[in-house]
A and B are shown apart, each in its own frame.
Chain A
Amino acid sequence: MIPLDHVLEIALLISVAYLIGCALGYGAHVAWRTLAARPRVVSRHEAQSIATAIAVSPTTATPAGKSAARRLATAVERDVAEPSVKPVPAMQLRPPQLPAPRHGKPDDLRQIKGIGAKTESALHDLGIYHLDQIVAWTPSHIDWLEGRIAVKGRIRREQWVEQAVLLLTATAPA
């Protein structure tokens, strides 16, 4: 007779094995779908030559074949003109943040044209207190910030990073 505590442990082990299998199966399926969904890159020239070849191929010379080939050629030409694959959004990264301003005193970010009191406060909330932090922003950081504190395109249009570089250069000791 198997002891009761062993029965419970066996049931637990089998359940754990089942759950691990579920997670692995789900993960494998997600990975497989991601790989399968990757768009195949076909050059414009290649796509047009394929379409033309299908349209004039003697194997599709029957009326139905011709019609199907023409439809396919039209579809390919339309797809080449207006690609159906949407561009992947750029990667967004949160810029490095500080828990508090260094030496307890933040820089005056309002020196940058385009940053007002409200935006400065929002930047402080995100842990950005100094001009050198703004200088270190990359395009990924700007993309991340634009969705949160500014109207899309404002940081680039108003050249906050360039302004911060100029301000830092002007205030740096010679």
Chain B
Amino acid sequence: MSDLLETVVFLCGIYWPYMAVAAAIGLVTGWLSLSRRPGEGAP
């Protein structure tokens, strides 16, 4: 368990910029998911 935690902390320390970018993209996606008007994007 502690090994896994250490690995996660280690990876977060190195790859945090990528995670931040992913979070930012998710933020925009989450925000825009509510902005779509009904019927928009429907085939």
Interface residues of A (CB under 8 A from B): 6, 9-10, 13-15, 17-30, 33
Contacts and interface: CB of A to CB of B under 8 A. Distances in A.
Contact of A14 (B7, B15, B28): B15
A29 B34 contact: yes
Chain B contact residues, majority secondary structure: helix
Interface in B21-40: 22-35
User: Which one of A21, A22, A26, A29 has the greatest number of beta carbons of chain B within 10 Å?
Assistant: A21
A101 B11 CA distance: 57
A67 to B, nearest CB: 31
A70 B25 CA distance: 47
Contacts of A19: 26
B22 A26 contact: no
Given A10-B15, A29-B34, A21 B7 contact: no
Given A23-B30, A25-B31, A18 B23 contact: yes
User: Which one of B7, B18, B34 has the greatest number of beta carbons of chain A within 10 Å?
Assistant: B34
